[in-house]
A and B are shown apart, each in its own frame.
Chain A
Amino acid sequence: MSDFEPKIVAFFCNWCTYGAADLAGVSRLDYPPNFRVVRLPCTGRLNPKFIMEAFKRGADGVWISGCHPGDCHYIAGNYHARRKFVLMHQLLESIGVDPNRLRFSWISSAEANKFQAMARDVVEHVKACGPNTTFRKEDLKLGLAEVA
């Protein structure tokens, strides 16, 4: 499984982690390219169905990152988000989703180094989990002989 390259969906807050990703880029900090970023105005915008949609469509991991508590551009968005994260994290873990597939972090736009380290950490852990085979929609059974 060493050549497994996971697909990870990342949800970043526009004001912090997205900025950190930019800063990491312009600082020429090297990080793995396995995640596709969805930019959110705030982690408070994250609806649990986004996470489910990503997994359902076969994402191997989901990474959610926003401003440090207290630094929210909208004053309290991430405080509210934090309570939701606790529930999502706990429920999905209880259902048997490997917690390494669903990662959360607070990264400010100045923390390019933390972004780099976290990106590496997330990808490494998802790689260790292997491909997501159980928590996704199964491939459609097309039933066309020539595709089988």
Chain B
Amino acid sequence: MPEYLVKESGLKEFFQSLANGRHLLTPQGTGDKCKLEEAGPDKVNLDYSNTHMSPKSAFFPQSENLMAFHNKSDKPNPFVYQDLGDKAQPTVIFGIRPCDARGLSISNRVFQNDRFTDPYWKGKYEQTIKIGLACASPSPQCFCAAMGGSPYGELGLDVLAFKVEGGLGLKPVTAQGEELIKQTNAAQEDLAQEIKKQEAKAIEAQGVGTDLKPIDDKDLMELFQDPHWTATAENCLNCGVCTFFCPTCHCFDIQDEQSEQGGIRMRNWDTCMSWLFTVHGTGHNPRPSKTERVRQRFMHKLKYIPLKQDGIRGCTGCGRCVVMCPVNIDIREVALKMCQPPAQSQA
């Protein structure tokens, strides 16, 4: 697909046409205040490193009501759970970083695949056009390239936007994305070389990533039984920060809540770092200590997801967990340990 260009003077009009008939979410604020919000087409911030939290909550909110019942006997269907339906509306999200978009595509395959379709995710995901903004200047915690992505990656996006001299370049990725671009004031322009140039520079700025191929090659049980896990987990506080901020963590907990009027079935983010996550009704817990829980998280990201999703790693290298972790457990260091032959990783 050909690239498009919006001149700096036309940016306002461009965002206005994106917002035409749709909700337009853009990153607002800087630093740890930066989040995706609907702030109108006139207030678009192109200068942010990344949103504080991953954009997954736009499709998979921390708490989401699924079904409800009422107890009014004089009204139809008392005490019967009814689907709360899908209230998704046409939306454009502008400014998803490629790492987060990659995360969305990974979660998408969990929520929509040949075995299951999650209607709550599907409704929102399919009505949203995702426009990414490429990262020209990576942060110290960024390592998307090492995880198989790129600061100019396209996976999970409909359009990839990138800053160019005097404007904003756009590269449609899907037909839906190109359709949208054609409705705007963006003009066709050949920017293929420009993207390549910028991408190479950004990857170089990230530094050489670790080659994680040994993890792919190693046997699952060998990784699982590796003795380094006790030491790796020793720091861990077992809070849920990494999972809540992770763009690919998608585990949830279904809860029923009742009041005097009726009840609701909701799902909430859950975290594998929690003791409660795996405890059985009997009181038995298959992951009794933090070692098993920490191992689960990293094995899931670096081994189980690649096995299930054609080699795509469950970590996208956004670096949120690295910065947010109160004790700075760095998934890059853990991945390195997983790469080591068993004898060396014991130390």
- Residues of chain B with a CB closer than 8 A to A147's CB: 70, 72, 75, 261-262
A139 touches B261 (CB 8 A): yes
Q: Name which residue of chain A comes closest to B87, CB basis.
A: A143
Q: Is the interface of A mostly helix, strand, loop or mixed?
A: loop
B65 to chain A, nearest CB (A): 6
Q: Is the CB of B257 closer than 8 A to any CB of chain A?
A: yes
B262 touches A140 (CB 8 A): yes
- Chain B interface size, as a band, is 10 to 19
Q: Among the listed B72, B75, B76, B264, which residue makes an inter-chain contact with A140, where contact means beta carbons less than 8 Å apart?
A: B264
B68 touches A142 (CB 8 A): yes
Between A and B, 17 residue pairs with Cβ closer than 8 Å are A58-B260, A139-B260, A139-B261, A140-B257, A140-B258, A140-B264, A142-B262, A142-B264, A143-B65, A143-B68, A144-B69, A144-B82, A144-B84, A144-B262, A146-B70, A146-B75, A147-B70
- Residues of chain A with a CB closer than 8 A to B77's CB: 146
Within 8 A of A (CB), among B43-100: 65, 68-70, 72, 75-77, 82, 84
- Residues of chain B with a CB closer than 8 A to A144's CB: 68-70, 82, 84, 262
Q: Is the CB of A141 closer than 8 A to any CB of chain B?
A: yes
Q: Is the CB of B263 closer than 8 A to any CB of chain A?
A: yes
B→A interface (CB under 8 Å): 65, 68-70, 72, 75-77, 82, 84, 257-264
Within 8 A of B (CB), among A104-148: 137, 139-144, 146-147
A52 to chain B, nearest CB (A): 16
B84 touches A140 (CB 8 A): no
Given A144-B70, A146-B70, does the pair A139, B82 have CB atoms closer than 8 Å?
A: no
- Residues of chain A with a CB closer than 8 A to B263's CB: 140, 142
B311 to chain A, nearest CB (A): 41
Q: State in angstroms the CA–CA spacing of A140 and B259 once bound together.
A: 7
A146 touches B262 (CB 8 A): no
User: 0/1 per residue, A58-69, Cβ < 8 Å to B?
Assistant: 100000000000
- Residues of chain A with a CB closer than 8 A to B69's CB: 142, 144
Q: Name which residue of chain A comes closest to B84, CB basis.
A: A143
- Residues of chain B with a CB closer than 8 A to A141's CB: 65, 264
User: 0/1 per residue, A90-110, Cβ < 8 Å to B?
Assistant: 000000000000000000000
A146 to chain B, nearest CB (A): 5
A84 to chain B, nearest CB (A): 26
Q: State in angstroms the CA–CA spacing of A33 and B261 once bound together.
A: 24
Q: State in angstroms the CA–CA spacing of A142 and B70 once bound together.
A: 8
Q: State in angstroms the CA–CA spacing of A147 and B260 once bound together.
A: 12
Q: State in angstroms the CA–CA spacing of A143 and B76 once bound together.
A: 15
